[in-house]
Amino acid sequence: MSRMNVNKRFPSVADLESRALPRLPKFVREYLTNGLGTGTGVRRNREALNDVELMPRYLVEADQPDMRCTLFGREYDAPFGVAPVGLSGLIWPNAESILAEAARAHNIPYTLSTVSNLTLEETRRLTGEMGWFQLYTPKDEEDRHDILRRCEEAGYDTLFVTVDVPYQTRREHDIRNGLSVPPQFDLKTLWQMATHPHWALRMLKTGVPQFANLIPYHGKITSRSKRKQIEAQVQFIKDRIGLHITREVFGDIREHWKGKLLVKGVLDPQEAVAYLDHGADGIVVSNHGGRQLDAAPGAATLLPHVRKAVGPDATVLVDSGVRSGLDIARMLALGADFVMMGRPFMYGVAALDRLGGDHVMNILKAELQSTMGQLGCRSVEELPSHLVNGIE
Ligand SMILES: Cc1cc2nc3c(=O)[nH]c(=O)nc-3n(C[C@H](O)[C@H](O)[C@H](O)COP(=O)(O)O)c2cc1C
């Protein structure tokens, strides 16, 4: 498809989502899009954003809205980035390299999940300075310190520690679909794959992806079968990746990580303050895109309360439910310094393969610029002054 056609046919993330979803087998589609329970958490994220009103003003000269943004001393071309999405390479083959390269070209960050299908070293080579890493920590201190060492040696300077998966997650659709890694090739999944040739043919080419970062830790396995190796990695995740980040584990990570440390998945304003007191450099307000607790409040609802609690100088990022440049403006107006997204980038890649990452980033930049122009807003720092319904 030519670039002109892409621009015309898919002017929004919603258009990409509509094209992407039918291209994915059901077990992949539901893993990517759904929340859990009744899906209330996902809806709440959306509704909280829809409720945010922004005041346009027309007496200001804002013909050249400036989207650039500085975080921890580094300038980004826009105030948004790619959130970590585990198993990206299973959702769409090569998704990680596509998004890592697009992020570098757009001068915005790409965050690699611990449970990714490309190694942190390979990814850092693709992202350059635009690479961030998200940690699900091994329980074993030696393994944990080794991952942190590898991150540092690879050149990462920003680490997300995700705290909002303190217990085994129970997603009904994944149970129903028998989602497993490596995928079980029973009649049901084989049929789903056969009826989704875009996905299946690419997956045949790349092969079922491994949990590439964990290969050094799952112990020696004698079999050369790839399936056996993936099974060993999955067993490692089940047995030896710690879910709950206790104060001790957090303290240990802080002690062994010299770079910037951000805590991802915070909703309670008082906890945000506590993490900063314990040495975090920033907070990512998030309900994990409504994927962990159906009753969790929307990230946009809690964001202004977190900002008020931590004060104007603390670094606050946010994700969950953001689907457009307008949503990015809303989150910045509510007090975020920077906005992350998970699913939108995956929709782009599943819809357009190699062109997808670049296209989503172009859409979001164009929408944010247009929103700022409509508001009469010259820079991203001015966005909070356009918020209509702020908290007291
Ligand atoms: C399929 C999927 C996998 C995810 N895997 C991870 C992960 O490995 N680590 C993590 O910290 N967050 C993970 N997240 C959460 C995202 O980083 C982010 O918080 C969420 O997607 C934001 O919501 P959005 O998708 O509405 O933008 C995942 C999200 C999705 C949709």
**pLDDT band for position 135 (50/70/90)?**
very high
Q: Tell me if 376 is assigned to some domain.
A: no
Query: Ligand 1 centre from 204 Cα, in Å?
Result: 25
Enter the DSSP assignment of 155: T
Q: What's residue 235's pLDDT?
A: 85
288 given a catalytic annotation = yes
Query: What is the three-class DSSP state of 209?
Result: coil
Q: Tell me if 323 is assigned to some domain.
A: yes
Question: DSSP readout, 229-284?
Answer: HHHHHHHHHHHHB--S--HHHHHHHHHH--SEEEEEEE--HHHHHHHHHTT-SEEE
Give dist(CA 156, CA 28) in Å, integer.
30
Ligand 1 site, residue 286, Cβ cutoff 6 A: yes
Q: What is the CATH number of the domain that holds 90?
A: 3.20.20.70
* Count: domains in the chain: 1
Q: Tell me if 375 is assigned to some domain.
A: no
Q: Tell me if 378 is assigned to some domain.
A: no
For ligand 1, mutation pick of 31, 114, 288 (most atoms within 8 Å of CB): 288
| Whether residue 62 has pLDDT greater than 70 | yes
Comparing CA positions, the residue from 389, 158, 388 lying closest to residue 284 is 158
Percent of the chain with pLDDT over 90: 80
Distance from the first to the final alpha carbon of the chain: 50
Q: Tell me if 331 is assigned to some domain.
A: yes
Ligand 1 site, residue 134, Cβ cutoff 6 A: yes
Query: Ligand 1 centre from 220 Cα, in Å?
Result: 30
Q: Tell me if 274 is assigned to some domain.
A: no
Identified catalytic residue from 106, 218, 288, 359: 288
Ligand 1 site, residue 86, Cβ cutoff 6 A: yes
Range of the domain at 18: 3-46+72-265+279-364
| Whether residue 184 has pLDDT greater than 70 | no
Q: Tell me if 153 is assigned to some domain.
A: yes
Average pLDDT over residues 26-31: 94
The pTM score is: 0.96
Q: Tell me if 16 is assigned to some domain.
A: yes
Query: Ligand 1 centre from 366 Cα, in Å?
Result: 24
Atom of ligand 1 nearest to the CA of 341: 27
| Whether residue 226 has pLDDT greater than 90 | no
- Helix segments in the chain, DSSP class H: 3-9, 13-20, 26-33, 40-50, 88-91, 95-106, 120-127, 141-154, 172-177, 187-194, 197-206, 226-240, 247-256, 269-277, 299-310, 325-333, 343-352, 356-375
Q: What's residue 206's pLDDT?
A: 87
Ligand 1 site, residue 41, Cβ cutoff 6 A: no
